[in-house]
Amino acid sequence: MTALPDAHGPKRSWWKSNQQALTPWLFLAPGIFMFAVYVIWPIYASFQFSFYDWDGLSPKKWVGWGNYQELWGDRNFIISLKNNIIWLVLYMLAVPAGLGIAIFLNQTVAGIRIYKSLFFFPFVISQVVVGLMFAWFYAPNFGLFFKLTEWLFGTGTAVLANPEYATYGIIVAGLWPQIAYCMILYLTGLNNVAPDQIEAARLDGAKGLKMLWYVVLPQLRPATFIAVVVTVIGALRSFDLVSIMTNGGPFGQTRVLSFYMYEKALSEYGYRMGYGAAIAVVLFLIMMVFIAGFVWKMVRDERGH
Amino acid sequence: MLRKPLGAGLALTLALLAGTSAIAQQRVLTFNTDTSDPAPKAAFEALIADFEAEYPDIDVQVNLFDHEGYKTAIRNFLTADSPDLANWYAGNRMKPFVDAGQFMDVSDVWADNNLNDQLASAESSMTIDGKQWGVPYTYYQWGMYYNKTLYEQVGAKVPETYDEFVENCKLFKDAGIDCLTTGTSAMWPAAGIFDYFNLRTNGYDFHMALTAGEVEWTDPRVRETFAQWNRLVEPGYITANAAAIDWQDAAALLSQGKAANYIMGNFAVATFKDGGMTDDTLGFFPFPTINPDVARAEDAPTDTVHIPAGAKNPEDAKTFLAFLARPDVQTKLNTALGQLPVNNQSTVDEADPFLSQGFTMLSEASGLAQFFDRDAPAEMAASGMEGFQEFMAYPGNLDDILGRLESDRQRIYK
């Protein structure tokens, strides 16, 4: 008499017994692989490069903390850091501005979809195109803005040639699509605001700002969270606009860290890979502060406040 | 044969190779080049066709790169997958590749073909450690391009000396015209201006010593250069807001009659002519004399072809370089390019006033500078040009600018 195979016996295959635990990892494997190769490893490599003096051709030379020491004395690095802070602060205007437009557009009028898409339009076009348009807008001698200031004050203001205004000029260009982005986030958020709560609040006599602050905004918290996250990240990686509109000029006064990193490591006059990597590490650490904060908040929310 | 470095292009080439068995027996010479603009592209196609006609057993395969992208790409392909020939520039620009052992010593090509004589004007800029590292095939002059109509309008004469130039500027200023225009948003046009002020004030040897990092930027002689320059900056003779203007937009100011002079390279002639100028309204003169005791030297950036150290077919590559250096080849190539041949036995198109003037000017020059961003190392060039740009906007910051450049110099040329 042959023994019947016992389904629950000790002879279960290794795969079967571990299936439950392994499956998620199998599904995650391609993602983990890509993330490790294209994100984790480059981060590690950047940290490593930042301790070397390397032009990309000759052998690497170990300089320890030399690149970081040089950064502290580097006037251009300080300018970039300062501009990054200005970007971070002013870019935040996109969140309330986006909310304002979203509330304004959140009504049922004939053709509202057209208005919404017109407001959303700047986010659809490429940052490069936005940069070019604003560069022409500000351009000395023929730009619309230049002509306007010339007509108003007698002498035209060339925003991008003026070291004091240039960064603000670029931020305005950046805000245009960013506001549109925040607006869309809030518009979808407003769709989910519970009408019964609005009704109840109205019965209790809430209206205007009070209604917005105590009833609507708390329900928009997920949208606000995402809007702040994308705006912070957008401000920190503000590379394309700077590159297109001023190329870091006039005389390097509009540089931001991401642009300075590119300039030092990869541009025509750069090829100091180690120094560029050191700038990248600093930028990464600044971003890490925000990212860690966001992740911490998300984890806390998921665990149920 | 021409192909883009793309998968589709490669597949097409392979298909062509398979189709014609004759080609398969040829020796292949790969040539990476950045001649992507229409005129240079056509000129190089003709050059390669001539070469293949003369050497039917060699097949030159061209990988055409975008002009700007090439500057990054060359670092990758030299270390990863070397072609047999590559375009680059003379002077300090080739030094990193020579120092890193990425370019082949081609002194034998120079010696065997008597190039030290024929390419004499470019020899010093092709020589590092007493050896030559490539073959120059074209250069172009820098100088003063001017609007003849405006000169007539205000009654100005073409100046011989800088003092006369400054006097003219007053006439232009009174007529509401920018005496000197420039657009430094890409920074390098400012370097051309500095080069000429320094070459005319202190001479070629000093300029070379300065770009080689042997002179302090706070030296009184450098200050004298900026003092001369300031005679145009302080009174407002230079186009305002130049830092936000592209060089092409400044060229438009000249062709529209809003500016009288422009320190530029000869490649700008095409842009001026696109703006409606002709040989009758556009003029050229060498940058005027500042210090009469200083021998005239000019800016003449030179384009070159090199053999990478990892070339698979260096023998045929040397044949190509010898061909490229020949007077008749350089004459034909430069006629198509609209530039000047380096070989002193070549001829230029007499009908082109700018080329013939430039050819005379360069052959009489006591020395040829390559241009600030090719003579100085890349990092020094970048901070220098930033300083020049700032000086033209805020001449009062000069002390600060020179102090910064000096501390950069001490760091960069360790």
Flag whether residue B387 sits within 8 Å of chain A, measured between CB atoms: yes
* Interface confidence (ipTM) of the complex: 0.81
pTM here is 0.83
Choose between B32 and B68: higher pLDDT: B32
- Chain B residues in contact with A159 by the CB 8 A cut-off are 244
Flag whether residue B378 sits within 8 Å of chain A, measured between CB atoms: yes
Give me the pLDDT at residue B386, please. Answer: 93
Of all residues in chain B, the one with the smallest CA distance to A75 is B404
The answer to whether B269 and B144 are in contact (CB under 8 A) is no
The rounded distance, in Å, linking the Cα atoms of B285 and B263 is 10
The rounded distance, in Å, linking the Cα atoms of A119 and A184 is 9
Write the pLDDT tens digit of every residue in B197-207.
999 999 999 99
Mean pLDDT of chain B: 89
Of all residues in chain B, the one with the smallest CA distance to A264 is B379
pLDDT higher than threshold 50 for residue B9: no
Give me the pLDDT at residue A261, please. Answer: 93
Mean local confidence (pLDDT), B328-351: 89
The rounded distance, in Å, linking the Cα atoms of B126 and B89 is 9
- Chain B residues in contact with A57 by the CB 8 A cut-off are 75, 78-79, 96-97, 100, 102
Percent of chain B, pLDDT > 90? 68
Residue B160 binned pLDDT confidence (cut-offs 50, 70, 90)? very high
Residue B13 binned pLDDT confidence (cut-offs 50, 70, 90)? very low
CB-based contact A57 B393, cutoff 8 Å: no
Write phi, then psi, for A246 (nearest 5 degrees): -130, -10
Give me the pLDDT at residue A154, please. Answer: 85
- Chain B residues in contact with A270 by the CB 8 A cut-off are 378-379, 382
CA distances from B174 to B149, B228, B237 (A): 16, 21, 10
- Chain B residues in contact with A139 by the CB 8 A cut-off are 244-245, 249
Give me the pLDDT at residue A256, please. Answer: 94
Flag whether residue B241 sits within 8 Å of chain A, measured between CB atoms: yes
In the block, residue with structure tokens 């305002």 = B240
Q: In chain A, what are the domains? A: 74-265 (1.10.3720.10)
Mean local confidence (pLDDT), B313-327: 93
The rounded distance, in Å, linking the Cα atoms of A264 and B388 is 19
- Strand pairing report for B297-299 and B367-369: parallel
Write the pLDDT tens digit of every residue in A246-298.
888 788 899 999 999 999 988 878 788 999 999 999 999 998 998 898 889 88
The answer to whether B241 and B178 are in contact (CB under 8 A) is no
**A246 is written with which tokens?**
């001023």
- Chain B residues in contact with A268 by the CB 8 A cut-off are 71, 378
Q: Give B156 to chain A, closest Cα distance, Å.
A: 25
Q: Tens-digit pLDDT profile for chain A (305 aa)? A: 455 555 555 667 888 888 888 999 999 999 999 999 999 999 999 999 999 998 877 888 999 899 999 998 888 999 999 999 999 999 999 999 999 999 999 888 888 889 888 988 898 899 999 999 999 999 988 899 999 999 999 888 889 988 999 999 999 999 999 999 999 999 999 988 888 888 888 888 888 888 888 888 888 988 999 999 999 989 988 899 999 998 887 888 999 999 999 999 888 787 889 999 999 999 999 989 988 988 898 898 888 75
Mean local confidence (pLDDT), B207-229: 94
Query: Nearest CA to B259 among B275, B270, B274?
Result: B275
- Chain A residues in contact with B387 by the CB 8 A cut-off are 251
Mean local confidence (pLDDT), B260-289: 93
Residue B2 binned pLDDT confidence (cut-offs 50, 70, 90)? very low
Give me the pLDDT at residue A205, please. Answer: 83
The rounded distance, in Å, linking the Cα atoms of B237 and B168 is 10
Q: Give A151 to chain B, closest Cα distance, Å.
A: 17
CB-based contact A247 B187, cutoff 8 Å: yes
The answer to whether B140 and B339 are in contact (CB under 8 A) is yes
DSSP for chain A, please give it: -PPPP-TTSTT--HHHHHHHHHHHHHHHHHHHHHHIIIIIHHHHHHHHHTTEE--SSSPPEE-TTHHHHHHHH-HHHHHHHHHHHHHHHHHTTHHHHHHHHHHHH-S--TTHHHHHHHHHHHHHS-HHHHHHHHHHHH-TTT-HHHHHHHHHHSS---GGG-TTTHHHHHHHHHHHHHHHHHHHHHHHHHHTS-HHHHHHHHHTT--HHHHIIIIIHHHTHHHHHHHHHHHHHHHHT--HHHHHHTTT-STTTT--HHHHHHHHHTSTT---HHHHHHHHHHHHHHHHHHHHHHHHHHHHHHTT-
Flag whether residue B97 sits within 8 Å of chain A, measured between CB atoms: yes
- Strand pairing report for B259-265 and B142-147: antiparallel
- Chain B residues in contact with A247 by the CB 8 A cut-off are 185-187
Percent of chain B, pLDDT > 70? 94
The rounded distance, in Å, linking the Cα atoms of A65 and A46 is 14
Give me the pLDDT at residue A138, please. Answer: 93
pLDDT higher than threshold 50 for residue B34: yes
- Nearest by CB to A75, from B79, B373, B404: name it: B404
Residue B238 is given by DSSP the state B
Q: Give B391 to chain A, closest Cα distance, Å.
A: 9
Residue A265 has a CB neighbour count (10 Å cut-off) of: 22
Write the pLDDT tens digit of every residue in A121-153.
898 899 999 999 999 999 988 899 999 999 999
The answer to whether B147 and B268 are in contact (CB under 8 A) is no
CA distances from A52 to A103, B72, B100, B130 (A): 52, 20, 17, 31
Residue B25 binned pLDDT confidence (cut-offs 50, 70, 90)? low
